[in-house]
């Protein structure tokens, strides 16, 4: 109470105007992400905003309300360079009114129909008029909705949009929009390329870094409302009392920002930390153990989100160890969480070492027969493609194949297979490509997005998860542009209908520059970047050519791993006749897992989209491509085009220097020079290697690789970051 009082007092004091001598801004190391509130350089625009933002009043009493006040107090004077009075619970006639929906607002501003569309987290931003004039109203059914509306309103200012006649109604399309951190308890981050884990577990709960609050704020600003704190390859210690206290400390920080915490749990925890001699989900004591554990957690974290589970996959324990199904395992946990409103997010990324079935086929084989057997508070989290976060994969055949079960989307934000944090890869086009794909299971319009948002099969529990790329690096994500992937993930989880290009523009304007020409150039760089990586790493549907373990750099020659389908040679199948993996009926028959007409399309090389050709087909080196080239030439051209495009990106970036703050500019420039080198490395290593089978010259006009294949094969990187 005391704190609220002091805050109220502080906020009612007029904030003194900040004067700026020039419009250029101080250097920016990337810490502020897209929440930079630097002075808008266009004076006219500033004045126009200022004239309608001299005072703001927020009605309500909660930590979230206080955060809204703080955010406005910080944003408006900094962006506009003008005075603003931010008050709490004053009956003043304010330019900006932020208030939860109520009868008075509804009748005064006639917003009944709008309010009905908001749901629990949505918001309305509306220009309203009354006797005393015009003002902006932000309203919602919850304080969190008000916070989201406030961030959206500030975003309008940051991106230079008119606020004169607003009527924005938004409601998130996915219910749970969460990050999955693959962070270990010793701060190592599996597939993390931005320093250590941001959770300083050793010092928690007492020492609470400012970063935790800044993290929550950044997430809330893009609508992320959940975070699974620890690695899916989980350590059972996370469920011990000492660790639950640490988790509680984070949950308390995140709560006013609308973020719930989730934990990845190890299925064998009852044995590892509970003193039981089994973790069989049908065993009474095991069930009780989980029920008590849930009670213990909810006692201290009443809004705990639930469990994320990787079971019977890559050596992790699971119900299969007791001949129980994934449904039996998941249902046991669901029952423990359900009295408290918690959910189980059970991953479909399963493949067992023992099962001889090709890895990409196992998830479908395991899960589709279980459709309808999962409890209501379970969502099955499916990676976007059937293998593993490759630069390009077809959509997972699970989407659309389990109509009775809520399916969650799992995207990877961290760039395990797309150049770590030194390659510029804007991933929203990848996310968009998957979400917009039409599974055709119920005729046209049965997009993956509709499976995820629950509208295809009328599902209430909906989830989109992104494997986080956040670490202790000052700029959070290692690469300035990798911030855009965190941002874009949040925006698409909120609304999958946004376009990746529009999201890029928002992010550029808020993070890098508002100068229109520069925005256009950067937008182009971003929008092309993922395809360039596909080209110089895995064109035409090739996949999993990365080196072993760390996945850093090319390793198409690797053939000595214990399981056949861990080896790149398994996936490209290059031989003297041709290249590609036959996944049709004459080969692994992955096509059989797709609904018609995809099954037919993917079975026929002439119908298969060329960018997935070698995913589904083994084709001769002289196969005729649509371009008129033979397959070998086309493949090599893709490799060369990809590497050349990065040289061009580097050139384009260098021309932008005057528009970007020095630190951001230099960080990106340094990374681009690494990327230029590594793209050529990928190109040359792969082309030389495939040439040993194709036995054909490079297409005319292309320069020969400067080093030998032996050289590339001899490279090793024992200390590459993020290893599993
Ligand atoms: C693979 C990663 C591995 C993860 C696994 C997973 O290489 O580190 O544990 O995915 O998603 O891509 O469980």
* Cα–Cα distance for residue pair 612/618, rounded to 1 Å: 12
* 353 alpha carbon – ligand 1 mean position (Å): 14
Pocket of ligand 1 (CB under 6 A): 190-191, 232-233, 310, 349, 388-389, 416, 724
Q: Measure the CA–CA gap between 46 and 74, rounded to whole angstroms.
A: 16
pLDDT at 26: 67
Strand 123-130 versus strand 133-140 pairing type: antiparallel
CATH classification code of 176-502: 3.20.20.80
Mutation choice for ligand 1 from 184, 188, 228, 232, CB with most ligand atoms inside 8 A: 232
Distance CA 365, CA 459 (A): 22
- Give the alpha-carbon dihedral of 529, 530, 531, 534, to 10 degrees: 130
**Nearest alpha carbon, ligand 1 atom 4:** 724
Nearest to 224 by CA among 263, 174, 190, 189: 174
Which of 184, 228, 313, 349 has most ligand 1 atoms within 8 Å of CB, for mutation?
349
Let me know: does 313 contact 349? Beta carbons within 8 Å: yes
Does the pLDDT of residue 130 top 90, yes or no? no
| Shortest-distance Cα residue to atom 12 of ligand 1 | 388
User: What pLDDT was estimated at residue 265?
Assistant: 99
pLDDT bracket for residue 27 (50, 70, 90) = confident
With CA atoms as reference, report the closest residue to 221 among 279, 144, 169: 144
- H or E stretch at 130: strand 123-130
What ligand 1 atom has the least distance to the C-alpha of 724?
Answer: 8
Q: What is the pLDDT of residue 389?
A: 98
| Cα-to-centroid distance, 231 and ligand 1 (Å) | 10
Yes or no: domain 2-170 corresponds to CATH 3.20.20.70: no
Of ligand 1's atoms, which has the minimum distance to the CA of residue 190? 8
**DSSP character at residue 489:** H
Among 416, 465, 722, 724, the mutation site with the greatest number of ligand 1 atoms within 8 A of its Cβ is: 724
Give strand pairing partners of 59. Answer: 99
Average pLDDT, integer, range 328-338: 99
CA of 544 to the centre of ligand 1 (A): 13
pLDDT of residue 20: 32
- pLDDT per residue as tens digits for the range 3-23: 444 444 444 433 333 333 333
Domain borders along the chain are 2-170, 176-502, 535-581+618-714
By most ligand atoms within 8 Å of CB, the mutation choice from 314, 385, 417, 547 for ligand 1 is 314
DSSP state of 348: -
pLDDT for residue 213? 98
Does the pLDDT of residue 545 top 50, yes or no?
Answer: yes
**Average pLDDT, stretch 453-479?**
98
Burial class (CB within 10 angstroms; exposed 0-12, middle 13-18, buried 19+) of 625: middle
Q: Is 593 in contact with 401 (CB distance < 8 Å)?
A: yes
Q: How far is the CA of 467 from the centre of ligand 1 (A)?
A: 10
The average pLDDT across 464-487 equals 98
pLDDT exceeds 60 at position 543: yes
Q: How far is the CA of 416 from the centre of ligand 1 (A)?
A: 9
* Confidence (pLDDT) at 15: 38
CATH superfamily of 535-581+618-714: Alpha-glucuronidase, C-terminal domain (3.90.1330.10)
Instruction: Work out the mean pLDDT of the chain and round it to a whole number.
Output: 95
Helix axes 284-300, 241-254, angle to 10 degrees: 40
Residue 29: pLDDT over 90: yes
Residues marked as catalytic? 314, 388, 416
Q: Sheet containing 123-130: which strands, arranged edge to edge?
A: 85-88, 55-59, 96-100, 133-140, 123-130, 167-170
Looking at the chain, the number of H-run helices and the number of E-run strands are 23, 16
**Ligand 1 atom showing the smallest separation from residue 467 Cα:** 11
How does residue 56 score in pLDDT terms, banded at 50, 70 and 90?
Answer: very high
Mean pLDDT, range 110-138, rounded to an integer: 94
- When pLDDT is averaged across residues 95-121 and rounded to a whole number, the result is 96
Q: How confident is the model at residue 2 (pLDDT cuts 50, 70, 90)?
A: very low
User: At CA 660, angle to CA 654 and CA 663, rounded to 5?
Assistant: 90
Tell me what the mean pLDDT of segment 384-410 comes to.
98
Angle at 286 between CA 282 and CA 292, to 5 degrees: 130
Rounded Cα–Cα distance for residues 534 and 318 (Å): 35
| Residue that wins the pLDDT comparison between 688 and 131 | 688
Kindly report the backbone phi and psi dihedral angles of residue 55, in degrees, each rounded to the nearest multiple of 5, phi listed first: -145, 150
| Cα-to-centroid distance, 428 and ligand 1 (Å) | 21
Which atom of ligand 1 lies closest to the CA of 232? 13
- What pLDDT score does 244 carry? 98
**Protein residue closest via CA to atom 11 of ligand 1:** 349
Residue 621 Cα to chain centre, angstroms: 37
Nearest CA to ligand 1 atom 1: 388
Q: Distance, CA 408 to ligand 1 centroid (Å)?
A: 17
The whole-number pLDDT of residue 99 equals: 98
Q: What is the pLDDT of residue 11?
A: 42
């Amino acid at each position: 109470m005391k704190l609220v009082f002091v805050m109220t007092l502080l906020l009612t004091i007029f904030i003194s105007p900040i004067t700026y001598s020039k419009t250029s801004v101080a250097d920016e190391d990337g810490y502020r992400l897209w929440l930079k509130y630097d002075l808008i350089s266009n004076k006219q625009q500033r004045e126009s905003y200022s004239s309608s933002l001299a005072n703001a009043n927020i009605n309500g009493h909660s930590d979230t309300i206080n955060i809204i006040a703080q955010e406005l107090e910080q944003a408006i004077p900094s962006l506009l360079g003008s005075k603003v009075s931010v008050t709490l619970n004053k009956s003043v006639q304010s330019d900006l009114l932020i208030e939860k929906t109520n009868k008075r607002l509804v009748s005064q501003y006639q917003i009944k129909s709008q309010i009905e569309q908001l749901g629990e987290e949505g918001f309305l931003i509306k220009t309203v008029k009354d006797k005393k004039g015009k003002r902006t109203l932000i309203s919602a059914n919850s304080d969190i909705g008000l916070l989201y509306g406030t961030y959206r309103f500030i975003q309008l200012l940051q991106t230079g949009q008119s606020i004169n006649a607003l009527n924005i109604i938004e409601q998130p399309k996915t219910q749970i929009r969460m990050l999955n951190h693959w962070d270990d308890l010793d701060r190592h981050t599996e597939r993390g390329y931005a320093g250590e884990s941001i959770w300083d577990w050793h010092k928690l709960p007492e020492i609470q870094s400012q970063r935790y609050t800044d993290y929550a704020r950044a997430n809330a600003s893009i609508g992320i409302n959940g975070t699974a704190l620890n690695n899916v390859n989980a350590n059972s210690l996370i469920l011990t009392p000492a660790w639950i206290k640490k988790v509680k400390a984070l949950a308390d920080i995140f709560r006013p920002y609308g973020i719930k915490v989730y934990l990845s749990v190890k299925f064998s925890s009852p044995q590892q930390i509970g003193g039981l001699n089994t973790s069989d989900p049908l065993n009474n004591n095991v069930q009780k153990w989980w029920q008590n554990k849930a009670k213990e957690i909810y006692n201290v974290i009443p809004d705990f989100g639930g469990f994320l589970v990787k079971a019977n996959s890559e050596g992790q324990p699971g119900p299969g160890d007791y001949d129980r199904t994934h449904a039996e395992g998941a249902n046991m946990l669901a029952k423990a969480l359900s009295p408290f409103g918690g959910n189980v997010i059970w991953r479909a990324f399963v493949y067992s070492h023992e099962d001889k079935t090709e890895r990409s086929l196992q998830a479908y084989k395991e899960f589709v027969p279980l459709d309808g057997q999962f409890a209501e508070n379970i969502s099955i989290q499916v990676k976007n493609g059937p293998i593993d976060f490759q630069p390009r994969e077809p959509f997972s055949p699970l989407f659309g194949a389990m109509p009775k079960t809520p399916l969650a989307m799992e995207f990877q934000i961290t760039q395990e297979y797309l150049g770590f944090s030194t390659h510029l890869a804007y991933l929203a086009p990848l996310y968009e490509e998957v979400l917009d794909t039409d599974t055709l299971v119920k005729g046209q319009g049965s997009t993956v997005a509709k499976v995820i948002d629950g509208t295809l099969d009328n599902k209430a529990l909906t989830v989109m998860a992104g494997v986080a790329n956040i670490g202790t690096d000052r700029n959070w994500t290692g690469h300035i542009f990798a911030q855009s992937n965190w941002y874009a993930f949040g925006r698409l989880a909120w609304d999958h209908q946004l376009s990746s290009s529009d999201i890029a523009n928002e992010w550029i304007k808020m993070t890098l520059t508002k100068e229109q020409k520069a925005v256009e150039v950067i937008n182009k760089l971003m929008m092309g970047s993922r395809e360039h990586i596909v080209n110089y790493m895995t064109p035409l549907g090739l996949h999993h050519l990365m080196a072993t373990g760390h996945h850093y750099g090319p390793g198409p020659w690797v053939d000595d791993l214990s399981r056949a389908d861990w080896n790149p040679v398994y996936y490209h199948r290059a031989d003297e006749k041709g290249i590609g993996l036959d996944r049709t009926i004459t080969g692994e028959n992955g096509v059989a897992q797709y609904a018609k007409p995809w099954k037919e399309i993917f079975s026929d090389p002439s119908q298969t989209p060329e960018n997935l050709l070698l995913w589904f087909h083994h084709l001769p080196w002289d196969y005729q491509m649509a371009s008129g080239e033979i397959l070998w030439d086309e493949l090599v051209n893709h490799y060369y085009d990809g590497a050349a495009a990065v040289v061009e990106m580097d050139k384009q970036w260098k021309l932008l220097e005057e528009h970007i703050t020095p630190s951001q500019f230099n960080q990106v420039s340094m990374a681009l020079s690494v990327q230029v080198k590594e793209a050529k490395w990928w190109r040359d290593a792969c082309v030389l290697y495939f040439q040993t089978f194709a036995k054909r010259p490079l297409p005319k006009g292309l320069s020969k690789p400067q080093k030998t294949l032996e050289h590339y094969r001899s490279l090793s990187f024992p200390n590459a970051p993020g290893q599993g």
